[in-house]
Amino acid sequence: MTIHVIGAGVAGLAAALALADAGRRVVVHEGSPVAGGRCRALPDGTDNGTHALIGANHAALAFLERIGARSGWVEPEPDGLPVLDLADGSARRVSLSPAGWVRADRRPAGVSLRAVLALMRLALPGRDVPVETAMAAHPAFHRGFVDPLVVAALNTPSREASSRRLAQVLRRLGGRGATRLFVAERGLGPDLVQPALAALYQRGAEILFNDRLRRVQHEGGRVTRLLLHEGDIALGPEDSVVLAVPPWEAVRLLTHVEAPDLHAPIVNLHFERTGEGPVRFVGMLGALCQWVLVRPSGVAVTVSAGDAEANEDVSTLAPRAWAEIRQAAQAFHLPGNWPEAPPPCRAIKEKRATPRHIPGPIPSPKRLHLANLALAGDWTFPGLPATIEASIASGQDAAAALARAA
């Protein structure tokens, strides 16, 4: 019995690990030269995005434990997230948990009892409207806390983001330690992808790169043949497939797949800078830079839901971003030299980074699409918006679905 995992993104890696742990023979086929998908490391060692986890991401944190990488994810701001508002220059630390707002110096702007109650109502089942509409009575709180949360979790502007999708996130934030923030200390390559690959190799899995799936042949409700770049594979009666690919690839390869067709971009800027001190993570309001991750090896900036920025050249993005980074460095006394001229910058634009999480029915593709083919990927997990957590949970669900079907 062989299970072929198509795609070595996070969902594919999670599925492969679950299958290998269950004693299955696993072969992973990745169409590109590297693993990781949207969490991949680039050839120069930088990440393709500024990804963070929170304590509520139980599946992701448990996956890191299983691959021996949990210690590489550090909590950069245990005393509250530093937030700089460029509109008035105010700098504050904000608790990501409402329980921390009992301290006046840990509250986001615009906090009031009515605003908090409005946020709590968003977590309840109800009508699905744009988040900005739902929070219209509390504009300062929406701007200072809710909108950054929406953009980070849903990668969709608040004016069009689904309140039902945000509710899925809010309902997970009530547990002890649920809002603790973690980032990869060295980067996604050394602290996620490489340990996952090592764990798979250790378990006897085979991983093939530059092996793109061109076509799936099926008959009688089962996959019978995979047509890959490196050759065709005929599936035996006990062989199975996990298809862990983006939605547009699933639609290309299969028929009748319920998949999102609207997507939102993420723009990431990576500045070359050798610094000192621990990893830091800063939020910004009224800025191009929504999140700034400072490592000794460089500075990374994330622009989520960056529709306009995805079409802007790095020659104009970089100076704008660097000027804001310097303001944040000064406001929060970040150590090291922060020269006026921006250092070399690399832009990574994911124009279809995630589905666009707008009001309406949540796509819920069948996990077991054919008798021996399971779908995986963050877009296949209706319980959460597209995140690392959803990717890992979907991969594990796909593995479990094949086990039940065996």
What's the chain's Rg over C-alpha atoms? 21
Based on the fold, state whether residues 30 and 78 are members of the same structural domain: no
**Domain end residue (candidates: 119, 142, 172):** 172
Q: Which tens digits make up the pLDDT trace of 162-174?
A: 999 999 999 999 8
For residue 304, the domain's CATH number is 3.90.660.10
Tell me the helix, strand and coil percentages in the chain, rounded to 5.
Answer: 35, 25, 40
Based on the fold, state whether residues 351 and 269 are members of the same structural domain: yes
Worst-scoring range by mean pLDDT, 10-19, 41-50, 162-171? 41-50
Task: Determine the distance from the C-alpha atom of residue 119 to the mean position of all C-alpha atoms in its chain, rounded to a whole number.
Answer: 23
d(CA 115, CA 352): 33
Based on the fold, state whether residues 257 and 385 are members of the same structural domain: yes
C-alpha dihedral sign at 131, 390, 75, 356: negative
Based on the fold, state whether residues 91 and 181 are members of the same structural domain: yes
Contact 66, 40 (CB under 8 A): no
Q: Which tens digits make up the pLDDT trace of 344-388?
A: 999 999 999 999 999 999 989 999 999 999 999 999 999 999 999
d(CA 140, CA 148): 12
The residue with greater pLDDT, 46 or 180, is: 180
Based on the fold, state whether residues 267 and 351 are members of the same structural domain: yes
Based on the fold, state whether residues 107 and 93 are members of the same structural domain: no
Strands 280-285, 81-85: parallel, antiparallel or unpaired by DSSP? parallel
Q: Which of 393, 379, 59, 372 is nearest to 246 (CA)?
A: 379
Q: Does residue 49 surpass a pLDDT of 90?
A: no
Q: Domain span at residue 250?
A: 2-43+187-261+359-405
**Residues 29-39, mean pLDDT to the nearest whole number:** 93
Residue linked to tokens 């959803």: 390
Q: Which tens digits make up the pLDDT trace of 109-132?
A: 999 999 999 999 999 988 999 999
Contact 385, 57 (CB under 8 A): no
How many domains does the chain contain in total?
3
Based on the fold, state whether residues 275 and 345 are members of the same structural domain: yes
Based on the fold, state whether residues 250 and 395 are members of the same structural domain: yes
Contact 188, 348 (CB under 8 A): no
Task: Determine the distance from the C-alpha atom of residue 40 to the mean position of all C-alpha atoms in its chain, rounded to a whole number.
Answer: 11
Q: Does residue 96 surpass a pLDDT of 80?
A: yes
Q: Which tens digits make up the pLDDT trace of 164-201?
A: 999 999 999 988 899 999 999 999 999 999 999 999 99
What's the chain's length in residues?
A: 406
Strands 263-272, 298-304: parallel, antiparallel or unpaired by DSSP? antiparallel
Based on the fold, state whether residues 267 and 322 are members of the same structural domain: yes
Q: Which tens digits make up the pLDDT trace of 214-244?
A: 999 999 999 999 999 989 999 999 999 999 9
pLDDT at 174 (0 to 100) = 84
pLDDT at 297 (0 to 100) = 87
C-alpha dihedral sign at 193, 170, 109, 304: positive
d(CA 104, CA 31): 51
